[in-house]
Amino acid sequence: MRYGILGDIHGNYDALEAVISDIEKEKIDRLLCVGDIVGYGAEPSKCIETVRRLNCISVAGNHDYAVAGKLGLECFNDDAREGVIWTREHLSAEDLEYLANLPIIIEEEGFTLVHGTLHYPELFGYILSYHDAELCFKAMSASGGRLCFMGHSHIPVTFFCGELLRYSTDRRITLQNADKFLVNVGSVGQPRDHNPKATYVIYDVENKTIRVRRLDYDIESAARKIRLSGLPIMNAERLKLGR
């Protein structure tokens, strides 16, 4: 079984198209998403339609729930808050219902999907340090899990829990020599690791490997759509910078 796992699409249909094209070439068996299908980008409805058409099962991200009215905007910065309000006004009732019904956690055979953290998934916290990762690993131990995929920070990185807690930003990870793994799949539509290429991962169950895929896409097209939409200009500019 080979899984394609993506996340943080953020309404960037140009980036999503590039990822889907690559996934088709890779002959992926099952497609999953760690949330934030919408927010920031100018084509949220097309992104939702594509995710649903491809039977891509998704957990909820904080932007998804905020747009659907299930999460307050107090913790959003001005640009993110404006993006949420704009997105809400540009989605159909069916789109909003879909986002509202996304689950917080999904348990697949052998692994878990969540947007932020496992220890308080409803708070949509970040895993940016060893301390954050340790709290997540403790939650995994309580549930008996060994592998978790997540997003939210938009930075592809894998944390390992064994004799030592460590991390790697390598593009190929072998799921050996550690007890538990936290895999951030990066971002399709708004990378923040100073690399503007769209990102997703391939999980090969049989070979026990994770491959991080980085893909070129038409960034200028996505940025132009944001500028024309009336969304904050920063949402367009940051695409070019990968931050």
Looking at the 3D structure of the chain, how many domains does it have? 1
Residues 108-145 have pLDDT tens digits of 988 999 999 999 999 999 998 899 999 999 888 767 77
pLDDT in tens, 69-96: 999 999 899 999 999 999 999 999 999 9
| Separation CA 11–CA 154 (nearest Å) | 14
The single-letter code of the amino acid at 157 is: V
How far apart are alpha carbons 165 and 116 in whole angstroms?
19
Mean pLDDT value of segment 147-165: 93
**pLDDT single digits (tens) 21-40:** 999 999 899 999 999 999 99
pTM, entire model: 0.95
The per-residue pLDDT of the chain, averaged, comes to: 94
Q: Supply the CATH number for residue 226's domain.
A: 3.60.21.10
Mark 32-68 as b/e (b = at least 16 C-beta within 10 Å): bbbbbbbbbbbbbbbbbbbbeebebebbbbbbbbbbb
Give the range of the structural domain holding residue 131, as residue numbers without chain letter. 2-241
Q: Which amino acid type is present at position 133? A: A
pLDDT at residue number 70 = 96
Map tokens 């708070």 to a residue: 123
Q: What value does the mean pLDDT take over residues 213-240?
A: 96
pLDDT at residue 178 in the model = 85
Residue 233 has pLDDT above 90, yes or no: yes
Alpha helix positions (H), the chain:
13-26, 44-53, 62-67, 78-89, 93-100, 130-143, 219-229, 233-241
